[in-house]
Structure 1
Amino acid sequence: MKIGLLSSDADTVSLVSQLGYPHDCTHCTSLEELTSLSADGAQLLVLDLDDLLPQADELVELVRRLRPPLATGPAPAVLLLATPAHQDWLWALRQAGAQELLVKPLRRQELALRMDLLMRTAEPAEAQTRVIAAGGFLLDLARLRVTHPQRPELEASLTRKEAELALLFLQNLGRPLSRAFLQEKVWGAEPELPTRTIDTHVSRVRTKLGLQPGHGYRLATVYGYGYQLERLD
C-alpha cells in the first residue's frame, strides 16, 4: 500500500512513517507532489493542515477530485491532522470527502488506530490478508498470525508489536539491528519505554517463532548493540 504524507513537522513525519511500516510511506513537500502521488495509486493521504492554510481552496478541490460521488474505482482515504484554527474550513473538507480528522497534538495510539482502520478500508478485499513471506515464514499482518510452510505444527498468534518486530528480524537476516533502530521502528519516540520492554518482546518472538538452532535459526544478543537473527545451514 502507498501512503502519502504532507507535513513539515519532523515529529509528525517520523510518527506517521513508523506507524505506516511496512507500507510504502512517501513524505511529500507540496500539494502538487501529493496530487502526483495520489494519481500514482496512493491509498491513504495524511494531510497536516498547518502546512496548507494558504492553499485552503486548492486542497478542498483536490479532495473533491479524489473522491467524486459517482466514482467507479477505489478512491484514496483522506486523514486530516487539524487544530481549532482550522475550524472554518474543516466542514468544507469533510463535505468534499475527507473521512477522518485528528486534533493535534497527536496521540500515538489514536493515530495508529485511525491509520489502521483507514488502510484496511482502502485496501481491496482480496489484499486485506496482507500475508508477507520473509525468512521462510508467512506473516499475516491483518490477522496477526505466523506460520512456516515446512513446520505445520507452527501457527502462533502475535501482538501488533511482536509482528512488527518479527518482520524486522526476518527481513534483515544476518544483519545486526541496534536497540535504537528496533525502538524507532516498533515503538517510535515513546519517551517512557521501560528498559526491559525490547528484551521481553524479543524473547516472546524467539519463543513463538521457534527461533532456535534446532529449527535452523539463531536470534542472538549482540553485546552492547542489539540483536541479530541468523538462518543456520
Structure 2
Amino acid sequence: APTRAQATPDDVNQAVQDALDAGDRESPPWEAGDAAQAPVRAAAPVRLPVRSPEDLRQKTLPAAAHTAQEAPEIVAIPVRTAPEPGARLQPLPSAAPAPARLVRTEEGDVWHATVQQLIAQEAITALVRELALQSQLVARDPDHWLLRVERESLNQPTARERLRAALEAAGHARQISVEVGVVIDSPARRNAHAAAERQRVAEEIVHNDPYVQQLMRDFGAKIVPGSIKPA
C-alpha cells in the first residue's frame, strides 16, 4: 500500500503563503496556528462631516432668500363689471359747492341789472363793488334806495358814500341807506346760481354725449368731478 505523506507545519505555511501571494499580495499572512480561520479584512471606516445647526442655517437661509427674491410678484388685477344693457349712467356729483339760498324778488331784478351796469363801466371797485354785490335792494323811491347786507363789515361809511355817488352819476337814487339783516336776493347770489346752472348744463351735455357714454360703458372711464368747465 502506498504511504501517505505527512504534511508538516512548514508545508502548510508555504501553501497558504503561496495562495495569499497569488490572490492579494498586500494582505498580511496569518500564523500557522490560525490555519483553520479565514482571513478577515476590516473595511476602513468612512467619516462624514458633521455640521452644526448654525452651519446649516447659514447654508439654507441665503438660498431661501434668493428663491424668495426670484419668485414672481403676484399682482391683483381688478375685474370691472360691465353695466347691464340699457342701464342709465348717472353723472358724478359736481365738486363745486351749492350756492346760497336765493329767492328772487322784483326789486332784485332792478338791483342786479344796476350793479352789473356799474361793474361793466368800472364805476365801482374793491370794497364798494363787494358791498353792491352782497346787498339786497329792499325798497326804493325816485330819490332814495334802501339796501340790506348780512355782514356789518361791508357797511362802511366810505363804501356807502362811493356807492351812492356812483348811483347818482348813473341817474339813479341820490340817497341810499344800508341796514344789516337777512339777505335772500342779491347780485352775488344770482351770479352764483347762474354759474351753477351753466355748470349743470355743461356736465349734462358731456355725460349724455354718445362717445363719452361708450368710453364709460366699454372701458370703465369716469368723469372726474370738477374737470368739466362751461365755455
TM-score (norm 1): 0.20
Instruction: Pick the structure with more strand per residue.
Output: 1
Q: Which structure exhibits the higher relative contact order, with contacts defined as CA atoms closer than 8 Å and separated by 6 or more residues?
A: 2
TM-score (norm 2): 0.20
Query: Greater Rg, structure 1 or structure 2?
Result: 2
